[in-house]
Structure 1
């Protein structure tokens, strides 16, 4: 065989392999059940930029948890299901009554998660990071048995160091402390001296979903542990949008100011139901099973009250698929009078956008509050591509002027509240480990309404006329990033 023939054969094999790879990935996209818009975007990227598109799809196109974590997720569910079944025996903690606006959502969550909503909880809405840190440090100092935390971001400095020192003190007096932090979000923490100091004190510190370039094709690297949960003695719980950071020192070079967040401090049975979510996260990451206890009598601060009813909704690999997206749609379609939403990142699915617009078109007063300045350029531009349709439907869009509004909240008819870690974007709805609370309580709804009205007072109302007169170069950029919105 001559060298020319040899190289011709090699070139033919390479070319055949190249087109076979493109055909294989194309077929994979076509047979994988996903939205049409998402599939079209992937196909266009692969056909226009084949090598880049193929590598991007293998890395980010599908939800790969990784073989070991996927096996743990599968193996944990028999024990988790049995725990949930055992919990249903404690009928006194579960609600038998919900408001009209919450009924469909609570039925959905009960059918998909196996337990009804829990009642008799005490709730406190915290809107200042200083208040959150002060309350948390106080609760840590009063802890007797366990302290468990999961955060997307823990950044050393300021008030977060006070929490770290309080944890170390608790561990040294014999309290079992477990800390689960996302590897990517908390990279500054893991580069600091704090992990070693905590471990030396007896705290279990675990990196969730470590970023490893050598496992690039084995696990999706942008799958993140985005929950924010604190559990103390199986009786006190915190969750919301705030990471373990001091806003005075966090991302001050991003040009968006301090982050504005909301956290809920809770006492009662909701701590137990949040505990099973934490237990699953811990087992998926470590392989250790730490199911929360089933006490003979769960503490119920408001046992006789009809309100304070909460359903904990969790998402992520191993949890009920698409549940948070379904919960949002169910809640929005239940709205009859008002719907107020706050989110820093607004890149909705077609179904979610349709539900929001439909609510406005049938006479519901719909308000969307988003930050004027965003720390994510991609999401900031992509979200603006949806404004024209929202404004045409009659949605009030408010641009928050003061700092970066990071609160994730939904309030329907002043009664049903959704607060937690879930952004109204594709990543939160279908990818990350997220948590949200569905709270059926008019008093809490009134508190949340006051917070949201304060956000509106610090915002500028966008008008359809001003939006239609924006420069054409902005419209072009919006459409370019809108094209990528199914992938954000």
Structure 2
């Protein structure tokens, strides 16, 4: 009898618990959906999270709490360098436009692009730089390792992926040797990117006694599972006078000519010298302050390499830099008169960027896009194909590069303006990740990049509008389904 009574009590207690939970459920869903409505800047993201919060009882709000809330904005303000006092563009004494030129530093038709970046970045345009393209790991890694080996004062390294393979270990050894001779070495790795290999490279860095921090590390308690808010920047800065940036991570995957590399990745990196390195170092210092909770002074270079290239660093991220790169891209597309060249591994542009590219093609600007035929993330390639027909319909041309996966990122306008760096043409780069690009106002550099683009274009296969329109039904359905999730790919 007592057992029956006890079972009945447990049953009624369970019923009361479920009644309480069902009563609280609408309030929880309303609160989390309301938070998404008020805080998300992108309507698609807001709709997506509102639907998740309402359609999946308790699980939806829990997912939103863990993955959907951007806690980095206020956190970044606590640790980042305050930029509010910076001048705008040419108000900086160091801006190249303040020097008496024999000819304008920036062509008149690019003034609007420069002014847009002036206001957004609060950084000056800097002359006196050099930019050297480096193809694949075969060219980039020896130059990077040689710079570390020659360092006298500082080596700062930030990367998204740092593989624990033979290339990764070469970098660890070079960093440890630099630190042993008294060089200040600091390494910043994105926590998610570091997990691409096991054991994680952080063990080797810690064993070598290298100052090392993980950006926005994942943890269960208290919940911090921001899979979408990653530091995708690639920076190597040596003695404040030599900098490397671009799309290349650290790992043997970028050794494109290695016959033992079954899945090589083609990529383009850049060595920069001159005063632009100071701007790149400012970015690293901000990221280090956020990740390591330590403010570091940007070193004064002993020497500054010469050159004639005009550059400026452009940061982008889900904090105070939100959509800076997006606005610069729009300005450059609008300014184009003759040609727009886009090379990117991941192409999921917003409706606004698609309209801007269509408008450029309609007004007679040669607008061409080069994508990899075989993507390392097949679902991203499928989603990208869904939007190509509407671009082709308005005169934009698209080709696919055969062979090894191409991870290179280039944007060149009229053989005069170029953007290089870590950002792709997708929501992850333009809305979610922390990115670093460098804008370049220089005919020689831009035309050299355009020549590289042209060589790749000639070897690629063109997608015609009629072919994009008449894909098999199952492929169109597959592409559309993955495109539906493009804000999160």
TM over 0.5: yes
Task: Give the Cα separation in 1 of the matches to 2:279 and 2:354.
Answer: 31
Deviation, 1:162, is: 2.7
Change (3 A) 1:212 1:103: same
1:223 maps to what in 2? 229
2:4 maps to what in 1? none
Task: Give the Cα separation in 2 of the matches to 1:196 and 1:145.
Answer: 25
| Among 282, 301, 304, the residue aligned to 1:299 | 304
For the pair 1:58 / 2:58, whether they are aligned, the reply is no
* Paired residue total: 473
Task: Give the Cα separation in 1 of the matches to 2:208 and 2:166.
Answer: 21
Task: Give the Cα separation in 2 of the matches to 1:243 and 1:137.
Answer: 14
For the pair 1:370 / 2:378, whether they are aligned, the reply is no
Task: Give the Cα separation in 1 of the matches to 2:42 and 2:149.
Answer: 49
1:428 maps to what in 2? 429
For the pair 1:269 / 2:269, whether they are aligned, the reply is no
| Among 253, 264, 284, the residue aligned to 1:278 | 284
Change (3 A) 1:402 1:272: same
Task: Give the Cα separation in 2 of the matches to 1:256 and 1:321.
Answer: 37
Task: Give the Cα separation in 1 of the matches to 2:331 and 2:154.
Answer: 36
1:11 maps to what in 2? 18
| Among 272, 288, 296, the residue aligned to 1:290 | 296
Task: Give the Cα separation in 1 of the matches to 2:16 and 2:168.
Answer: 62
CA offsets, 1:193-242, max 9 Å, x none?
Answer: x54554454421222221213343x4523311110001000000010000
2:93 maps to what in 1? 91
Whether the 8 Å CA contact 1:366–1:395 is kept in 2: the answer is yes
Within 5 Å, which residues of 2 pair with 1:139-150?
139-150=147-158
1:234 maps to what in 2? 240
Task: Give the Cα separation in 2 of the matches to 1:26 and 1:201.
Answer: 47
Task: Give the Cα separation in 1 of the matches to 2:177 and 2:183.
Answer: 9
Deviation, 1:13, is: 1.7
Whether the 8 Å CA contact 1:147–1:231 is kept in 2: the answer is yes
For normalisation by structure 1, the TM-score amounts to 0.89
1:73 maps to what in 2? 77
Query: Hey, which bits of structure 1, 4+ residues long, moved more than 6 A?
Result: 85-90
1:243 maps to what in 2? 249
| Among 163, 181, 190, the residue aligned to 2:189 | 181
Change (3 A) 1:480 1:56: farther
Whether the 8 Å CA contact 2:133–2:268 is kept in 1: the answer is yes
| Among 116, 126, 145, the residue aligned to 2:134 | 126
Whether the 8 Å CA contact 2:121–2:324 is kept in 1: the answer is no
1:111 maps to what in 2? 119
Structure 2 residues not aligned, in runs of 5+: 1-7, 99-104
Deviation, 1:49, is: 3.9
Deviation, 1:437, is: 0.7
Deviation, 1:409, is: 1.3
CA offsets, 1:79-112, max 9 Å, x none?
Answer: x556x56999983563443123432222122222
Deviation, 1:122, is: 1.1
Deviation, 1:402, is: 1.7
CA offsets, 1:222-281, max 9 Å, x none?
Answer: 31111000100000001000001122679x9xx993111111101100100101000000
Task: Give the Cα separation in 2 of the matches to 1:248 and 1:239.
Answer: 14
CA offsets, 1:403-456, max 9 Å, x none?
Answer: 111111111111110111101111111111100011011100011111111221
Structure 1 residues not aligned, in runs of 5+: none
2:312 maps to what in 1? 311
Greater RCO, 1 or 2 (C-alpha within 8 Å, sep 6+): 1
For the pair 1:322 / 2:351, whether they are aligned, the reply is no
Q: RMSD across aligned C-alpha pairs, in angstroms? A: 2.8
For the pair 1:164 / 2:169, whether they are aligned, the reply is no
Change (3 A) 1:59 1:300: same
CA offsets, 1:127-183, max 9 Å, x none?
Answer: 232110111122112111000000000113233433332222211111111111112
Segment drifting more, 34-43 vs 368-377:
34-43
Change (3 A) 1:330 1:74: farther
